[in-house]
Structure 1
Amino acid sequence: MFSGTAIEASPELRRSICRSELPCLICASVGRRYSHRIPALETLHKAWSSRAERSKYAKFAPALKDAAAKVDEYYEKTTHSAAYVLLMLLNPTGKMSYFTKHWPEDLHDDVLSTAETVFKARYLQLNQNWQSQEVNSRSPQRRNQLKADIVEALQCLKCALRHDLLFWEPAPSSLVELEHLDDDDEEVEVEETGDDEEGWDILLLGDDAEDVSDTETDIY
């Protein structure tokens, strides 16, 4: 029966992982690619093995059995390296979900203990040189120093904040102009002149307009 097997964590394996495999975990593309290998192999083996037992696929049974055996061979090779399991654990969308769902319960603790062992060995390797140095031999000039690109990015951010460059008024556009026109139309109230009210021409003519109106009255 094809299932998850215990992961070897010998001293030789831990040393090999510390030398070559763990640095690959930093690369996101490599991590995504390798984290799907164990699930893919298990899925293929389950699918081909189950179909080889069905009468519907009797003609393909020899080929399916050989394919499943080859997948099993590659799967056994993954048990000699903890990198595949670690990449699955470091995947934020998966973590331990695949192991708890598809692996036997007695292997769950093996997965976690292997991860702890490998990370502990890596941590000690990275810190042993620094811890072994004397305090006086360390370079105090390089403490709390940031790289040039980080300093430049911080300066640009401070300049943008001080000069209010992050948020600004929208540039002139047809949409903004239409909004202003709509606001003006709402504010302006058009007054209609009634029949009993004097028109604007009366205001311009003044007294002459009254004489003209009286003359028209006499004529009619």
Structure 2
Amino acid sequence: RTSGLRQTRFKKIQADRGVHEPRNLLRDMPVRWSSTKIMLDRAVGHRADIKQFVCELEREETNEEKRDALSLLHITPLEWKNALRMLELLQLADDAQIAFSAESYPTLYNAVPALTLLTSAWTLRLDDPNFVEFCPALEIALEKLSEYREIVTDSRTDAYWISMVLHPEYKFGAEFREFWGAQTDQLKSAMEKIVRSHGSHYSGAILTATTVSGPLREVAQATDLGRAAYTTATTEASSTEHWRVEYERFINTHYDIHEDMTLTRWWGMFASQLPTWGSLAADYLPIMSSSVSAERAFSSAALTLTKRRNRLKGDIVEALQIIKCALRNDLLTREPAPSSVVDADLVHEDSDEDDG
């Protein structure tokens, strides 16, 4: 009850200074990501309100011993400055987490760049005199990032670097080399072997993009120039391993991807031109880089499995979740197939038009 009264008082202090939507302070939770950062962010934004709140409690307290205890709650300017510095450190970690955490699209390709940037940012602040009080904590944090780096660079784990190669703006570029360094050439050779292995399933598809196809082929062969061009293209494609042609096409071609376009959608557009790479994208990109989507799935399933539906089998629950996701995200874009229901609706619409 006392806590409720104090919350009301704290909101009243905000309302008196013209805040339209007064808010309470927050407490961090070990099981929620970035909760400490969010807690500090809220507190820093209400520094004046917190000061007035403590002053009012101290002024109204009649017991001298309790009043002295309340006076210790005043936050000094130096403590607020340290809170701001800690908030800066936590904000860096939060930005890195957001970079490779998403609910509805893949972000594994951002895990390595985010890890690299966070390591660099914290290392710079480790040598900054303004963060000297945080050095012990930063050293522990950097040790943990080093452990993550060992996991990422483990030879048995290829998902991280392959997902970066599958990004048309990363591939084996500067961001890739910054992290893997001398391993880049070795990983290039490994990537060639992987594409060659997958390319055996798409040996004929690559000819579509390298030769004249469809009705134009007959027109091209009808002229000497067209016949020469067609023969040359076919010979070149036949003399070169198909996987090699596709491999070099993707690696050596500059592609742009719009900032609002997800990587899965981009590969959906280019899968027909790069079938082997598209197959790899379908295998690797769905790998989750964080547990955000899984946590949301469990939370959503808890809403689906009510007390009246708690005996549903796993496959039924999975189907319900997929349907719910498709409906809420407007993924059901295909026209309905012919059926008696559709025919009845069309007849009903025609009759309404005739009556009108």
TM-score (normalised: structure 2): 0.25
More contact order relative to length (CA 8 Å, sep ≥ 6): 1
Q: Which has the larger radius of gyration?
A: 1
